[in-house]
């Protein structure tokens, strides 16, 4: 979170959930950041402006999802990343609720069939978790794989969506 270069105003709010506190941030352009607060460093970067009203739609949709009442999101997204990362993150939004795909399948979808490691790296740098559902990407052998926000959270989200996990 601290490595994000600040060239525009970011507005944020916190959302308490059963699986940890989420920090949600957006610019005038759209949603820039959704991730679990680091328990060792729960603060947000200097310069971010606390504005729950601006984040009301995003936090409401996240709350609905986490309560089982929403399967898709309708929010403007504006993640900062390389063109390849943004292509991967866009492809994540096309994975249906309750479904999983492998890193290899995701690499094929973004027209980089041998790039499953690069896809895994892009997945790990996803700045908008849950909404760009990187938790729905698993290893080819069906094992859960990694998750930058913690395996326990990935398992929680997949089980909540009805996906049986190992």
pLDDT (tens digit, 9 = 90+) per residue, 90-131?
999 999 999 999 999 999 999 988 888 899 999 999 999 999
Query: Considering the domain boundaries, does residue 153 fall inside one?
Result: yes
CA distance 76 to 113: 29
> What pLDDT score does 7 carry?
62
What the block records as the tokens of 165 is 């996990």
Query: Considering the domain boundaries, does residue 119 fall inside one?
Result: yes
Q: What pTM value is reported for the model? A: 0.89
Q: Are 35 and 22 in contact (CB under 8 A)?
A: yes
Query: Considering the domain boundaries, does residue 155 fall inside one?
Result: yes
| Mean per-residue pLDDT over the chain, rounded | 90
Q: What is the CATH number of the domain that holds 102?
A: 1.10.10.10
Query: Considering the domain boundaries, does residue 63 fall inside one?
Result: no
Query: Considering the domain boundaries, does residue 104 fall inside one?
Result: yes
Residues with pLDDT less than 70, the chain: 1-7, 41-42, 165-166
Query: Considering the domain boundaries, does residue 69 fall inside one?
Result: no
CA distance 15 to 34: 10
Question: What domain range includes position 88?
Answer: 83-160
Query: Considering the domain boundaries, does residue 57 fall inside one?
Result: no
Number of domains in the chain: 1
Is 164 known to be catalytic?
no
Q: Which of 24, 44, 62, 134 is catalytic?
A: 134
Query: Considering the domain boundaries, does residue 152 fall inside one?
Result: yes
């Amino acid at each position: 979170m601290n490595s994000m270069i600040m060239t525009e105003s970011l507005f944020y709010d916190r959302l308490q959930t059963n699986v940890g506190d989420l920090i949600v941030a957006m610019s005038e352009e759209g949603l820039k950041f959704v991730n679990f607060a680091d328990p060792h460093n729960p603060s947000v970067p200097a310069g971010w402006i606390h504005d729950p009203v601006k984040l009301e739609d995003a936090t409401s949709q996240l709350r609905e999802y986490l309560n089982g009442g929403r399967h898709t999101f309708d929010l403007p997204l504006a993640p900062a990343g390389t063109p390849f990362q943004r292509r991967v993150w866009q492809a994540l939004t096309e994975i249906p609720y309750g479904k999983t795909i492998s890193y290899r399948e995701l690499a094929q979808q973004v027209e980089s069939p041998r790039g499953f490691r690069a896809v895994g790296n892009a997945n790990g740098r996803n700045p908008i978790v849950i909404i760009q559902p990187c938790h729905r990407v698993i290893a080819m052998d069906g094992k859960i794989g990694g998750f930058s926000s913690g395996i326990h959270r990935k398992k929680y989200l997949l089980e909540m969506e009805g996906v049986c996990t190992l």
